[in-house]
């Protein structure tokens, strides 16, 4: 019986981009036939990634505008980097956390495959601008949060999909507007696809965060607020895509809290 979590770990450890994407797409089959229990110990530092892009402090990342070709390439490179990290984040949550329902692993494996698709779309378009993924320095902020929550599934769900990825729902429409003004309609189309799918990804985050909170008998919103404080995360900053967040499973109580923040 194939072990889904070991397959996810193998893909996570892979340094070669194309091979990582290939391994991720290849993890398929009826979830009922896949073992999710025993997992191998990682054989290398995680995550597997190529030598480039060079990773720098987030404060050193250049400001990106879509008004010039170079600025548009830089903006799209940053999106490609987010999508590449999102592949690793989804693979990591599959292999790292045991004793969850099989549907949990199936959901996050779907996310991993869709992130591969997004990464490919952005990378292919980036190449039409005489730039490839790895050509521009980037930062490791997303994976840093992943490491901080490596021993706490509730915190991982709260801080990654429910916070960082939900932020993508807020900023995506504004990026589409900038790229539309620059005349890059293919990039606008790609971001539309990403927004559509990311609503589903964040919905998996809220679904499983609520599941863990319910299993522990704790209030989801209060627990979320406590986790933000305990992990030194700032409260979400508006403007918020409230419709997108509602479609992604945010409760009326959580939406009202966000409105008050905004």
What is the per-residue pLDDT across 105-142, written as a single tens digit (0 to 9) for each? 999 999 999 999 999 999 999 999 999 999 999 987 77
- Give the C-alpha distances (Å, rounded to integers) separating 177 from 19, 122, 172, 182, 185: 34, 17, 9, 9, 10
Predicted confidence at residue 53, as pLDDT, reads: 93
Distance (Å, whole) CA 13 – CA 171: 30
Predicted confidence at residue 29, as pLDDT, reads: 61
CB 204 within 8 A of CB 226: no
CATH fourth-level superfamily of 4-33+43-48+56-260 = Ferritin, core subunit, four-helix bundle (1.20.1260.10)
Tally of CB atoms within 10 A around 261: 11
Structure tokens at 195: 């927004």
| Percent of the chain at pLDDT exceeding 70 | 94
What is the per-residue pLDDT across 82-93, written as a single tens digit (0 to 9) for each? 999 999 999 999
Predicted confidence at residue 41, as pLDDT, reads: 80
Predicted confidence at residue 189, as pLDDT, reads: 98
Distance (Å, whole) CA 168 – CA 170: 5
Q: Which residue has the tokens 């996570």?
A: 12
Contacts for 46 with CB less than 8 Å, ≥ 6 apart: 12, 13, 88, 92
What is the per-residue pLDDT across 194-212, written as a single tens digit (0 to 9) for each? 999 999 999 999 999 999 9
Indicate the pLDDT class of residue 219, thresholds 50, 70 and 90.
Answer: very high
Predicted confidence at residue 56, as pLDDT, reads: 83
User: Is a pLDDT exceeding 70 seen at residue 32?
Assistant: no
């Amino acid at each position: 019986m194939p072990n889904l979590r070991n397959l996810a770990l193998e893909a996570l450890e892979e340094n070669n981009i194309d091979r990582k994407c290939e391994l991720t797409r290849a993890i398929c089959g009826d979830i009922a036939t896949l073992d999710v229990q025993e997992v191998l110990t990682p054989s290398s530092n995680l995550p597997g990634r190529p030598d480039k892009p060079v990773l720098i402090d987030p404060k050193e990342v250049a400001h990106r505008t879509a008004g010039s070709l170079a600025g548009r390439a830089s903006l799209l490179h940053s999106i490609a980097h987010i999508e590449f990290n999102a592949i690793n984040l989804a693979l990591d949550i599959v292999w790292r956390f045991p004793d969850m329902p099989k549907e949990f692993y199936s959901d996050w494996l779907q996310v991993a495959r869709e992130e591969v698709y997004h990464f490919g779309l952005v990378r292919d378009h980036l190449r039409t601008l005489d730039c490839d993924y790895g050509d521009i320095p980037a930062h490791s902020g997303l994976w840093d949060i992943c490491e901080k929550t490596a021993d706490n599934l509730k915190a991982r769900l709260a801080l990654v999909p429910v916070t960082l990825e939900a932020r993508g729902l807020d900023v995506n429409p504004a990026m589409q507007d900038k790229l539309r003004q620059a005349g890059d309609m293919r990039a606008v189309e790609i971001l539309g696809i990403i927004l559509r799918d990311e609503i589903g990804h964040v919905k998996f985050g809220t679904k499983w965060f609520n599941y863990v909170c319910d299993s522990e008998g704790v209030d989801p919103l209060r627990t979320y607020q406590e986790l933000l404080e305990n992990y030194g995360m700032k409260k979400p900053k508006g403007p918020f895509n409230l419709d997108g967040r509602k479609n992604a499973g945010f409760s009326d109580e959580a939406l009202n809290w966000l409105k008050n923040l905004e």
